[in-house]
Structure 1
Amino acid sequence: MEIAIKLSQFLLSLSLLIILHELGHFIPAKLFKTRVEKFYLFFDVKYSLLKKKIGETEYGIGWLPLGGYVKISGMIDESMDTEQMALPPQPWEFRSKPAWQRLIIMLGGVTVNFILAFIIYIGMAFFYGDLYLDNSELKDGIAVNSDFGKGLGFKTGDKIISIDGESNLHFHEIPNKILFSKQVIIARNGQEMTLKMPTDLIDKLLDTKKHSFIEWREPFMVGMVSDSSANKEVLKPKDVVRSINGIETKYADQVVDIAQANKGKALKAIVLRDEKEIPVTIKVNSAGKLGVYAASLGVESLEKLGVYKFNKQEYGFFESFPVGIEKGKNQLIGYGKQLKAIFNPSTGAYKGVGGFKAIFDIFPKSWSWEIFWNITALLSIMLGVMNLLPIPALDGGHVMFLLYEMISGRKPSDKFMEYAQMVGFVLLISLLVFANGNDIYKAIFHK
C-alpha cells in the first residue's frame, strides 16, 4: 500500500508537469497558427495506450513514462522527421514562422514550469502558511550526532552565528546552506570560531549514506524498550527522562553522556509519564546503554515542554503573493547553486545525481497534499532549469540557435539542425543513463 501511494504521487506529479510543460509549447504554436500534429503524455514508441485525433492534432498517452512531447510541423525535434523537412516549407509549419514567434513557442514550456512553481508556492503560503524554528531559539546550541558533522568541526552545543555572512536563519535552512558554503561562524563556550568548509563537502556527505548531520537538541524520549533490556519493566514508550541522579537532563545527548560515564550502574531518575513526574531506578549496561530506542517528540510536544517556540505564520490572500514569489525565487537560486556544484567535479556533487528512482524516493509513504505540492513545485523548477540548458534537443538548445539567428540574421541550415539534434539526443541519453545508473549503483552499494 505504501508503494502504491508513493507511485500514485510520483505519476500524478510527473503527469501534471509534463502536460503543463507541453501545453506551454502547444498554446503559442496554435496562437501563431502553427500545426501541432501530436500531443502526448509519455512516449508512444511503436504504439500508444490511448489516442484520439481532434482536428489536426492527435492526443494520446504513450507506454514509456520518460516524458512527453508535442510534434510541431516543420520543426527539427526528437521525431527526426527528415521526410517532412525535405519538402518545401508550408505556411503552417514552424520553420516558416518569424524567429520571434518560434522563440516564444520554444520558451513556452519552461515559462509554464516557472509560473506553475510560483503559483504553487503562493497557494501553499495561503493554505498552509509557514511553520519554522528560528535559529535563535536554539539557545543551547545544535546537536551533532554524526561522525561527518564532527569531522567538519561541529560539536553538540555549538551555536550557528552565520553561514557565509548570512545570519537570521531558520533552522531548517541551515544544513542545506552549509553544504554550499565556504565558512561557518559558530559560538562555542562563549567564543566565536570560524569553520572552513571543504570544497568536496557534498562528496563526503554522499559517502556517509546519511543526509542529516546537524539537528536541533531535544529531550530523551523512549520510543521502544528492547526485550533484553534491564529497564523493560522500568521505562515505557513516550517516557521523557527529566533528570538522572539529581542532574537535569534537558536534552538526549546529556542522558547519553551520563549513561556512558556510569557503565554497569543503577541510577535514580525522574521521567515524565502521562504528564506526571515519576521517580524510577534505571540500569545502565556494561556498554553504557539503557537498552531503549529514543524517539523524536515532534513540534507540539517540544512546545508543550517549553523546549522551543515554533513560529506559525499565516497569510491572507494578497499577503501570499510576495511570500510565495520569495520562496520560488529562493528555490530557483538554490537549485542553481546545486547545478553549479554538479558541474564542478571538485565538489563530487555529480555522484548525487539521481534518475527516476531518486525522484520516486522523495515522495512520502503516506499521502500529504502539502508535501506533494511542495515536491511538485521544486520538480517544476528543476524541469524548467534543465530544459533551459543550451543542449541541442532541449528547449534551451533551440533557443540558443534562434538567438543566434536573430542576432546574426543567418538561419542555421536544416541539415545542421538535424546533426545538432542527433548530438543533443546522444547527450541526453548519456545523462539519462548516468543519472539512472547512479540510482542503481546506490541501490546496490549504499544499502
Structure 2
Amino acid sequence: MELAIKIFQFILSISILVVLHELGHFLPAKYFKTKVEKFYLFFDPWFSIAKKKIGETEYGIGWLPFGGYVKIAGMVDESMDTEQLKQPAQPWEFRAKPAWQRLIIMLGGVTVNFFLAWLIYSCLSLFNGETYTDLTKFENGVEVTEAGRKMGFQNGDKIISIDGKPNERLENASINILLGDNVTVLRDGKEVTFPVNTEGVAEVLKQKEAKLYISPRMPMVIDSLATPSSKASGLASGDKVVGINGQKVSFFDQVSAVLSQNKGKTISVDVERNGAVQTIPTVSVDKNGKLGVQLATKNLAKSITTNKHYSFGESIPRGFTRTIEALTMQVKQFKIMFNSKVQGYKNVGGPIAIVKNMPVNKSADGSIGINWPAFWSFTAMFSVWLAFLNLIPIPGLDGGHVIFTLYEIIFGKPVPQKVLENAQMIGVIFLLGLMLLIFGSDIFKVFTGKL
C-alpha cells in the first residue's frame, strides 16, 4: 500500500509538471499561429495509451513515463521527423516564424516551471508556514559523526555562516555545507573559519542519510530504563549524567566515547538528580558500550524547532526566495555531481530512487496517506529542477534550441539545417544514454542494498 501511494504521488507530480511545461510551449505557439501537431503526456513510441484529435492537434497519453512533448510543425525535435523540413517552409511552421517568436515558444516551458514553483512555495508559506530545526537555538552547538570531523567540524561548534552567508536552518545547512567551500563556527568562544574537507564530503555522500553527519549536541538526560541491568543499577528517569569513573562529562558524545572504552565493565556514574549530584557506584556497560537507557529527546526537539507563519503579502516574496534557493541548490548539486574528488555522480538517483523517497503520512493506527504539504514541496522543487535541466545548452533540450536561436538573433543568420539535425541526433543519443545510466544506477543500488 505504501509503495502504491508513493508511485501514485510520483506519477501525479510528474503529470502536473509535464502537462504545464508543455503547455508553456503550446500556448505561445498557438498564439503565434504555429501548427502544433501533437500534445502528449509521456512518450508514445509505437503506440499510445489514449489519443484524440481536436482540430489540428492530436492529444494523447503515452506509455513511457519519461516526460512528454509537443510536436510543432517545422521544428527539429526529439521525434527526428525531418521529412517535412525537406519541403519549402509554410507560414504556419515553426521555422517560418521570426527568431524572437521562436525564442518565446522555446522558453515557455521553463518559464511556466519557474512560476509554478513560485506559486506553490508561496501557497505553502501562506497556508502551512514553515517548520524547521533552528541552528540559532543549538545552545550546546552541534554533535558530528566521524565524517563530520573529517570535514573540519568539532563537537560543540556553533555554526555561524556557510560561504559567508548566515544559515539558521539545519535542513538547509546540512546540504549547503556539502556543497559549500568554507564554514564559520563559534568554537571555544572564538570565530573559526575552515575549508570544507572533500574527503569528509565524499564519506557523507556514501551514506543513505547524508544529513545525519550533523545534529544538535545533547545533554545525557535519561528518559527511561530499557534493560533489567539498568533498572537494577540505581539510575532513574530524569537523571542527567555528569561524570563517569570520576571523569567529568556533560553530553551524549562525551558519555558515548567513555562507554566505548568500558565495554562489558562496571563503572561508577555521577548524576544530577533533583538539583544535587550523587554517585551510582555500580552500573553495568554492555558489550556494545551501552547503558540500556533511552534518552530524553522530546523536549530538546521542541526547544530547537521554529514555526514561522507568513501573511499573504509576506508569502509572495517568500515564495520567490524559496524558488531561488531551490534553483541555487540544484546548480550546486549539479556542480558536485561532476566533482571527481567527492564522486557525486555515484549518488545520482533516478525514478526508482525518487519513488522510494516520496513522503507519506503514517498515523498511529498504521494507516498510510499522502502528506500533501510534502508532496507540493517536492513538486515545487522538481519544477525548479526541470526548469534548470531544460535550460542546459544540450541539443534535445530547450536550452539547445535557445542557444541556436540566440545565435541567429546575434549573427543575423540561422544555423544550417543539417547542423541542427545532426546536433539534435547527438543530443537525443546523449540523453537516452544518460537515462539508461541513471536507471542502471538505480537498479544496481536496489540489488546491492544501497537504495
* TM-score with structure 1 setting the length: 0.86
Following superposition, the deviation at residue 10 of structure 1 comes to 0.8
Gaps of at least 5 residues in structure 2 are 274-278, 362-369
Give the 3 Å change call, closer, same or farther, for CA 319–208 of structure 1 in structure 2: closer
Give the 3 Å change call, closer, same or farther, for CA 373–282 of structure 1 in structure 2: farther
* 3-state SS, counterpart of residue 82 of structure 1: coil
Give the 3 Å change call, closer, same or farther, for CA 394–309 of structure 1 in structure 2: closer
Matches within 5 A, 1:52-201: 52-144=52-144, 146-167=145-166, 169-199=168-198
C-alpha separation in 2, matches of 1:295 and 1:80: 62
Deviations 1:298-341 (A, max 9, x none): 5xx4366xxx2532221111111111111111111221122223
Deviations 1:343-400 (A, max 9, x none): 3434422222222122223312432111111111111111111100111111000111
Q: Which residue of 1 aligns with 2:434?
A: 431
C-alpha separation in 2, matches of 1:409 and 1:63: 41
C-alpha separation in 1, matches of 2:376 and 2:272: 40
Matches within 5 A, 1:8-27: 8-27=8-27
More moved, 60-69 vs 358-367: 358-367
User: Structure 2 residue aligned with 1:340, among 335, 347, 352?
Assistant: 335
Q: Which residue of 1 aligns with 2:300?
A: 302
Q: Which residue of 1 aligns with 2:50?
A: 50
Equivalences, count: 429
The one-letter code matched in structure 1 to 2:404 is F
User: Structure 1 residue aligned with 2:239, among 226, 239, 242?
Assistant: 242
Following superposition, the deviation at residue 53 of structure 1 comes to 1.2
Following superposition, the deviation at residue 260 of structure 1 comes to 4.2
User: Structure 1 residue aligned with 2:407, among 397, 404, 408?
Assistant: 404
The one-letter code matched in structure 2 to 1:288 is G
In the alignment, structure 1 residue 442 sits paired with structure 2 residue 421? no
C-alpha separation in 2, matches of 1:73 and 1:296: 65
More moved, 179-188 vs 282-291: 282-291
The one-letter code matched in structure 1 to 2:172 is E
Q: Which residue of 2 aligns with 1:275?
A: none
C-alpha separation in 2, matches of 1:412 and 1:221: 70
Following superposition, the deviation at residue 231 of structure 1 comes to 4.3
C-alpha separation in 1, matches of 2:224 and 2:33: 66
More moved, 369-378 vs 195-204: 195-204
More moved, 71-80 vs 160-169: 160-169
Tell me if structure 2 keeps the 8 A contact 1:3–1:365: no
The one-letter code matched in structure 1 to 2:381 is L
Gaps of at least 5 residues in structure 1 are 273-278
User: Structure 1 residue aligned with 2:396, among 393, 418, 421?
Assistant: 393
Deviations 1:155-179 (A, max 9, x none): 3222223322223533332211211
Following superposition, the deviation at residue 193 of structure 1 comes to 3.5
Q: Which residue of 2 aligns with 1:325?
A: 320
Tell me if structure 2 keeps the 8 A contact 1:244–1:267: no
The one-letter code matched in structure 1 to 2:356 is D
The one-letter code matched in structure 1 to 2:158 is K
* TM-score with structure 2 setting the length: 0.85
Name the Cα RMSD after superposition. Answer: 3.1
* 3-state SS, counterpart of residue 59 of structure 1: strand
Give the 3 Å change call, closer, same or farther, for CA 251–5 of structure 1 in structure 2: farther
C-alpha separation in 2, matches of 1:223 and 1:75: 67
Give the 3 Å change call, closer, same or farther, for CA 81–234 of structure 1 in structure 2: farther
Following superposition, the deviation at residue 91 of structure 1 comes to 1.5
In the alignment, structure 1 residue 349 sits paired with structure 2 residue 344? yes
Q: Which residue of 1 aligns with 2:416?
A: 413
Give the 3 Å change call, closer, same or farther, for CA 251–101 of structure 1 in structure 2: same
Tell me if structure 1 keeps the 8 A contact 2:249–2:255: yes
User: Structure 2 residue aligned with 1:370, among 369, 373, 398?
Assistant: 373
Following superposition, the deviation at residue 444 of structure 1 comes to 3.6
More moved, 24-33 vs 192-201: 192-201
User: Structure 2 residue aligned with 1:312, among 307, 312, 333?
Assistant: 307
Give the 3 Å change call, closer, same or farther, for CA 195–65 of structure 1 in structure 2: same
The one-letter code matched in structure 1 to 2:331 is G
Give the 3 Å change call, closer, same or farther, for CA 310–79 of structure 1 in structure 2: same
The one-letter code matched in structure 2 to 1:166 is K
Following superposition, the deviation at residue 66 of structure 1 comes to 0.9
C-alpha separation in 1, matches of 2:22 and 2:254: 55
Give the 3 Å change call, closer, same or farther, for CA 6–197 of structure 1 in structure 2: same
Give the 3 Å change call, closer, same or farther, for CA 387–240 of structure 1 in structure 2: farther
* 3-state SS, counterpart of residue 185 of structure 1: strand
Tell me if structure 2 keeps the 8 A contact 1:209–1:446: no
Q: Which residue of 2 aligns with 1:32?
A: 32
Following superposition, the deviation at residue 104 of structure 1 comes to 0.7
Give the 3 Å change call, closer, same or farther, for CA 64–262 of structure 1 in structure 2: same
C-alpha separation in 2, matches of 1:390 and 1:334: 19
The one-letter code matched in structure 2 to 1:383 is L
Following superposition, the deviation at residue 283 of structure 1 comes to 4.0
Following superposition, the deviation at residue 210 of structure 1 comes to 4.1
Tell me if structure 2 keeps the 8 A contact 1:203–1:351: no
Following superposition, the deviation at residue 290 of structure 1 comes to 2.6
Give the 3 Å change call, closer, same or farther, for CA 260–343 of structure 1 in structure 2: closer
C-alpha separation in 1, matches of 2:346 and 2:406: 33
C-alpha separation in 2, matches of 1:271 and 1:441: 51
Tell me if structure 2 keeps the 8 A contact 1:184–1:195: yes
Deviations 1:262-304 (A, max 9, x none): 65337679899xxxxxx99964324431346x57845xx4366
C-alpha separation in 1, matches of 2:81 and 2:287: 74
C-alpha separation in 2, matches of 1:334 and 1:75: 33
Give the 3 Å change call, closer, same or farther, for CA 419–252 of structure 1 in structure 2: same
